[in-house]
Amino acid sequence: MLTNDLFVLGATGFVGSTVVDAALSAGLKVGAWARTEAQAAALRQRGVAVCDPSSIPPSRVVIDLIQPKLPNRLGEGVFAKAARYRVETTREVLRALPREALLFSVSGTDDFATGTISHASPFLTGQAKGFARIGLSVRAELLAAKRPFASIHLGTVYGPGKAFASKLFPGLAKGRIPVIGDGANRLPLIHVEDAARALVHLTTLDTQRAIAHPWIVTDGTSTTQRELLELAAQLLGGPRPKSVPRWVATLIAGSVAARAFSRDLPTDPSALVASGFMFRYPSIATGLPASLARLEEAA
């Protein structure tokens, strides 16, 4: 007999916490791990069943949102270490995974070859770099384990939390966040509420459909880096962001961060839409104002 509809790993993180909210709002039974007793108490207060990190109770779907902590400056060495950490945690998850549970492995859009990223896109081959090093290392571990899993790929998640609230928004308000290069590159964006709602929505699909192909979770717009930063700065009442060459951004934020934010990465979430999902925030025109309104409410 199933104990939970969903079991969320990383339930206190930016996306994980929002997934818990979305699942509870949908009337689902939710379980989770917690690193500290304070986190466990907060989850229990919300109606989440918290268990010991060595086991996962019978659950229909287990969503793996565990993320390693990354420093402000991102170089390739950071991601080599993070990839090793995620492979180790994936092995722990597989050991604890109930036989009947379907694992949702959540990664990013950097895992795919160049071109418009869709559910039909090929994965990168050869030596992966940056965020793809983490995602593809986990994927290789799951394939070797020969356990069915759903492959979910989130775009750059924005909203009232994490780096957007603590670094990007304050930096834009003070004119300290520049556009990298000409800023014409398209970004794979998704509001955190839509990312969470999409994950919960995908758990409603039957297993064969869920594992049939990778799922691209982005809003699918052609929003450019410059459009994102300029609109956010305008809403914050800050100055229009200046432009800097990519090599300057590399010195400040590291090679991986500069490359990731200046890479042209159009996406096609048509498979997600065809599955019946509807965006609450289909573009930054609605997503950014809502995010800033939430931050003001919390202040």
Q: Mean pLDDT in the chain?
A: 90
Which residues, in sequence order, are bridge partners of residue 179?
243
Question: Is residue 260 scored above 90 in pLDDT?
Answer: no
HSE of 241, CA atoms in CB hemisphere, 13 A: 28
Task: Tell me the whole-structure pTM to 2 decimals.
Answer: 0.94
Range 162-166 average pLDDT: 68
pLDDT tens-digit map of 87-120: 999 999 999 999 999 999 999 999 998 889 999 9
pLDDT tens-digit map of 235-255: 999 999 999 888 777 776 666
Question: Which residue, chain included where needed, has tokens 């690193």?
Answer: 35
Amino acid letter, 195: A
- Is 4-298 a CATH 3.40.50.800 domain? no
Q: What are phi and psi of 180, to 5 degrees?
A: -90, 120
- How many whole angstroms separate alpha carbon 226 and alpha carbon 136? 29
* Residue of 139, 120, 136, 117 lying closest to 128 (CA atoms): 136
Amino acid letter, 206: D
- How many whole angstroms separate alpha carbon 292 and alpha carbon 276? 28
Which band of pLDDT confidence, cut at 50, 70 and 90, is reported for residue 135? very high
Can you give the residue ranges of every domain in the chain? 4-298
pLDDT tens-digit map of 209-223: 999 999 999 999 999
Q: Which helix (H) or strand (E) holds 196?
A: helix 192-202
Least confident residue range of 143-147, 201-205, 241-245, 254-258? 254-258
CB of 150 closer than 8 Å to CB of 103? yes
Query: For residue 189, what are its two tokens?
Result: 């964006």
HSE of 272, CA atoms in CB hemisphere, 13 A: 31
HSE of 115, CA atoms in CB hemisphere, 13 A: 9
Region of 115 on the Ramachandran plot (φ > 0 left; ψ -120 to 50 alpha; else beta): left
CB of 1 closer than 8 Å to CB of 58? yes
